[in-house]
Amino acid sequence: MMELHDPKLKQRGRASVDFLAQMGIAAGPVLQKVGGEIAEKINTDNLPDDLDARDQTINSALSESSAYATQRLMGDWHGRNHGQIAIEAFEEILPDLQSTLDATTNGPASLELDPDLKLPAYWDGVHFHRTSGGWDGHEHMGYVHGEIIHKKMVARFFPGGIFQQRHAVAAMAPRDSYERILDMGCSSGHFTCGLANAYPDAQITGIDLSARMLEHAYRTANANGWNWKLYQRAAENCGFEDASFDLVASYILIHEIPADVVEQVFAEAFRVLEPGGDMIMSDATRYADLDKLSVWKADRGAKYGGEPFWRETASLDLAEVARKVGFVDVTAEGTYPHVVKGRKPA
Ligand SMILES: C[S@@+](CC[C@H](N)C(=O)[O-])C[C@H]1O[C@@H](n2cnc3c(N)ncnc32)[C@H](O)[C@@H]1O
Q: What is the pLDDT of residues 85-130, one digit of tens each?
A: 999 999 999 998 888 888 888 999 999 999 999 999 999 989 998 8
Res 281 pLDDT > 50: yes
Return the pLDDT at 151.
84
Most confidently modeled range among 95-99, 155-159, 244-248: 244-248
344 pLDDT tier (thresholds 50, 70, 90): very high
CA–CA separation, 107 vs 112, rounded Å?
A: 14
Mean pLDDT in residue range 159-180: 88
Res 212 pLDDT > 70: yes
Mean pLDDT in residue range 239-252: 98
CB 252 near ligand 1, within 6 Å = yes
CB 191 near ligand 1, within 6 Å = yes
Enumerate the CATH 3.40.50.150 domain ranges in the chain, comma separated: 128-136+160-343
Return the pLDDT at 213.
96
CA–CA separation, 299 vs 310, rounded Å?
A: 8
Q: Which residues pair with 224 in a beta bridge?
A: none
Candidates 155, 141, 122; CA nearest to 24 is 155
CB 236 near ligand 1, within 6 Å = yes
Closest ligand 1 atom to the C-alpha of 235? Answer: 20
Mean pLDDT of the chain: 93
Mean pLDDT in residue range 219-238: 96
Candidates 261, 151, 248; CA nearest to 206 is 248
Percent of the chain with pLDDT over 70: 97
CB 186 near ligand 1, within 6 Å = yes
Return the pLDDT at 162.
77
Q: How far is the CA of 255 from the centre of ligand 1 (A)?
A: 9
153 pLDDT tier (thresholds 50, 70, 90): confident
Return the pLDDT at 268.
98
Rg (CA), the chain: 21
Which residue has the least CA distance to atom 26 on ligand 1? Answer: 187
Cα-Cα-Cα-Cα dihedral sign, residues 244, 246, 250, 251: negative
CATH code given to domain 128-136+160-343: 3.40.50.150
CB 257 near ligand 1, within 6 Å = yes
Q: How far is the CA of 142 from the centre of ligand 1 (A)?
A: 12
**Model confidence, pTM:** 0.95
Res 245 pLDDT > 80: yes
1 pLDDT tier (thresholds 50, 70, 90): very low
Q: How far is the CA of 37 from the centre of ligand 1 (A)?
A: 37
- Note whether 62 and 38 are within 8 A (CB): yes
CB 185 near ligand 1, within 6 Å = yes
Res 159 pLDDT > 60: no
Best residue among 124, 154, 187 to mutate for probing ligand 1's pocket (most ligand atoms within 8 Å of CB) is: 187
CB 310 near ligand 1, within 6 Å = no
CB 322 near ligand 1, within 6 Å = no
Cα-to-chain-centroid distance, residue 26: 24
Return the pLDDT at 7.
75
